[in-house]
Amino acid sequence: MTKLLLSIHVLASILVVGPIAVAASLFPRYARLAGEDGRSSGAAALLHRICSGYAVVGVAVPVFGLATGAQLGVLTDIWLIVSIVLTTIAAAILALAILPGQERMIETTEAGAAGADTARIAARLAGLTGVFNLLWAVVVVLMIVRPGSTTGA
């Protein structure tokens, strides 16, 4: 059972978090271009739909991660607790800042209010996305290295 849960957890991480990371990283560029030329608005809207849709499915990653941790008996290990905290922070950044920021930027570009406001929102989104991606990179390292773990890593 542990191998199945771990496999689902890893696959969900790759197939869900990966597309969010890529789409969120590309979004500011295409949304900024949409504000300048109006032709990239479809790409920006698609990238936002990818981020928001995959965010819903992304709940599977921590659910299967916690189930795997419970099976391995490592729920109280510090590396897992830190990973859970970082995952929660990343999810909060996505849900409370990145997705609303993308919506705001789409609305701004559709209203034709390009310029400084669009550039400011795009820069903020790029920074938030960088933090989101960095948090996931740290979680991946913690999952591989598992400092202090007694599970043999």
pLDDT of residue 150: 60
pLDDT of residue 111: 73
pLDDT of 37 higher than 90: no
The DSSP call for residue 149 is: -
Q: Which of 131, 113, 96, 134 is nearest to 32 (CA)?
A: 113
| pLDDT band for position 114 (cuts 50, 70, 90) | low
Cα–Cα distance measured from residue 85 to residue 135, given in angstroms and rounded to the nearest whole number: 10
Dump pLDDT digits (tens) for 127-136. Answer: 999 999 999 9
| pLDDT band for position 151 (cuts 50, 70, 90) | low
pLDDT of residue 113: 64
- The SS3 of residue 96 is helix
For residues 84 and 37, the answer to whether their CB atoms sit within 8 Å is no
- Spell out the residues 6+ positions from residue 81 whose beta carbon is closer than 8 angstroms to its own: none
Q: Which of 62, 96, 130 is nearest to 70 (CA)?
A: 62
Max mean pLDDT among 2-6, 19-23, 119-123 falls in 19-23
Q: Mean pLDDT, the chain, as a whole number?
A: 89
pLDDT of residue 2: 87
Dump pLDDT digits (tens) for 41-53. Answer: 889 999 999 999 9
pLDDT of residue 65: 94
Other C-beta atoms closer than 10 Å to the C-beta of 134 total 12
Tokens of 37: 């030329």
pLDDT of residue 152: 53
Q: Which of 108, 140, 124, 142 is nearest to 17 (CA)?
A: 140
Q: Which of 106, 99, 108, 109 is nearest to 132 (CA)?
A: 99
